[in-house]
Amino acid sequence: MRAAVFFEPGKALEIRELSLDPPREGEARLRIAASGVCRSDLSVTTGTLRSPLPVVLGHEAAGEVLETGPGVDGLAVGDRVIVSLSPECGECLFCREGRPNLCVQMAPGVMNSSMLDGTTRLRDGSDSIYQLCGIASFAEEAVVCARACIRVPDEVPLERACLLGCGVLTGVGAALNTAAIEPGMAVAVIGCGGVGLSAIQGARIAGAETIVAIDVVPEKLELARELGATHTLDGGSEVRRELRKIARLGVHVAIEAIGRTETIETAWSLLRPGGLAVVVGMPKARETARIRVGGFFQEKRLAGCVYGGAHAKRDIPRLLDYVRSGELRLDPLVSHELPLEAAQQALDDIARGAGARHVLVLG
């Protein structure tokens, strides 16, 4: 089967014919129908996120089950599924505390680009190839953790459902779980890519009264309006001053969905007393942001947000319901549908801020 392999920084992804070992205990082999291209895939190629190499990128996937390994319950050949990033083991400290988005079993995939047992199923001849997030969906097939597979109803196409595996769950989850936006609130979302546009939809679904979208690309702002933003601001302007013309005291919730320290600082500066800044974007882990501490005496709060603070097994089916009712719109998020060969082009586009979400359609 073919896959797009990232060998080293500065080199374009290469389409290679790879072999895939059969699924082991608790795993399933999928035909990948579609894979969204997320900024985190780009971040691996730039070194912002670290992964062992060579690696097959892609972690926002939907597909059809081709084969299950031993000990797999509740998943059958032919099932159409989204692959979540969290195996939700149900047993670790975090799962038991109701925070499966921090499940310790995510670590092998996220830190080491391997399966739960630390190995990988992908081979190029006799060489092992790593699998981003234990998924590796820039490929025609993938072996993944069966527990991470969540069924998709027939009426939702896999070319859209895949987005729920990362970007949409992350953005909507930031709004509904981490920020717990309430009706009537004023919200600002900085960065209107796949994640930010989903946060805007989450804010709309939660009943926010004022939703200010901030981006540097005019087309993104147009899309933001279509998806629920009530106001838009050019990120290159004096955002803090401009925002106060819209929400005099500042916003209840500011969501950063880019991954830059400057915009994390901006998010903090947009809050009203008692407001909450939610950081979804991922800069390099060692970077530092500077915020005015006076805000703490106005009870401003700063919160991290991983994978939308989501309980994927609970929230992905909920989001699928919102998709079916039309409240959560996926079509406008997809600016490009591309074949596997165009994976590098999709990464280049994201780096330039072009397009909302790119989806690789693999057949």
Q: State the residues that interact with ligand APR by CB under 6 A.
A: 38-40, 43, 167, 170, 190-196, 214-217, 220, 235, 257-259, 263, 280-282, 350, 353
- Do 111 and 119 meet the contact criterion of CB atoms below 8 Å apart? no
For 108, the token pair is: 């092998």
Mark residues 72-91: x for contact with Zn ion by CB under 5 A, - for none.
-----------------x--
Contact between 48 and 290 (Cβ < 8 Å): no
Binding piece for Zn ion, criterion CB under 5 A, among 14-22, 97-105, 116-124, 333-341: 97-105
Using the rule CB under 5 A, is 38 a contact of Zn ion? yes
In whole angstroms, the minimum distance from the beta carbon of 57 to ligand APR comes to: 13
Q: Helix or strand or coil: residue 357?
A: strand
CB 128 to ligand APR: min, Å: 26
Binding partner of residue 68 among Zn ion, ligand APR, none, CB cut-off 5 to 8 Å per kind: none
Closer residue to ligand APR, CB minimum distance, 209 or 222: 222
Q: How far is the first Cα of the chain from the last one, in angstroms, to the nearest whole number?
A: 12
194 versus 250: smaller Cβ distance to ligand APR: 194
Q: How far is the CB of 195 from ligand APR (least distance, A)?
A: 3
In the structure encoding, which two tokens stand for residue 56, read together? 């097959």
DSSP structure string for 17-73: E-EEPPP-TTEEEEEEEEEEE-HHHHHHHHTSS---SSEE---EEEEEEEEE-TT--
CB of 71 to ligand APR, least distance (A): 32
What is the size of the binding site for Zn ion (CB under 5 A)? 7
Tokens representing 327 are: 């409240």
Closest distance to ligand APR from the beta carbon of 163 (Å): 10
* Cα 83 to Cα 89: distance, rounded to the nearest angstrom: 15
Q: Which does 214 bind (CB under 5 to 8 A by kind): Zn ion, ligand APR, none?
A: ligand APR
Compute the distance between CA of residue 214 and CA of residue 197 in angstroms, rounded to an integer: 10
Q: Encoding tokens for residue 98?
A: 């109701």
The nearest distance, CB 357 to ligand APR, in angstroms, is 7
Give the residue carrying structure tokens 């500011």: 254
From its phi and psi, is residue 83 left (phi > 0), alpha (psi between -120 and 50) or beta?
beta
Nearer to ligand APR, 4 or 305 (CB): 305
62 binds Zn ion (CB under 5 A): no
Q: To the nearest whole angstrom, how small is the minimum distance from the Cβ of residue 266 to ligand APR? A: 8
- Kindly tell me which of 23 and 355 has the beta carbon lying closer to ligand APR: 355
Q: How far is the C-alpha of 16 from the C-alpha of 4, rounded, in Å?
A: 6
Question: What letter represents residue 324's amino acid?
Answer: R
CB 59 within 8 A of CB 38: yes
280 binds, among Zn ion, ligand APR, none (CB under 5 to 8 A by kind): ligand APR
Q: Report the residue number, 43 or 266, with the smaller CB distance to Zn ion.
A: 43
The stretches of 165-311 forming alpha helices (DSSP H) are 167-173, 194-206, 218-227, 239-246, 261-269
Q: Which helix (H) or strand (E) element contains residue 299?
A: none
Nearer to Zn ion, 112 or 128 (CB): 112
92 binds, among Zn ion, ligand APR, none (CB under 5 to 8 A by kind): Zn ion
As measured in angstroms, the least distance from the Cβ of 205 to ligand APR is 18
Site for Zn ion in 103-132 (CB under 5 A): 103
Nearest-angstrom CA–CA distance, 134 and 303: 27
Residue pair 56/45 in contact by the 8 Å Cβ criterion: no
- Least distance in angstroms from the C-beta of 159 to Zn ion: 17
Q: CB under 5 to 8 A by kind: which of Zn ion, ligand APR, none does 215 bind?
A: ligand APR
Residue number, 95 or 150, with CB nearest to Zn ion: 95
List contacts with Zn ion (CB under 5 A): 38, 40, 89, 92, 95, 103, 166
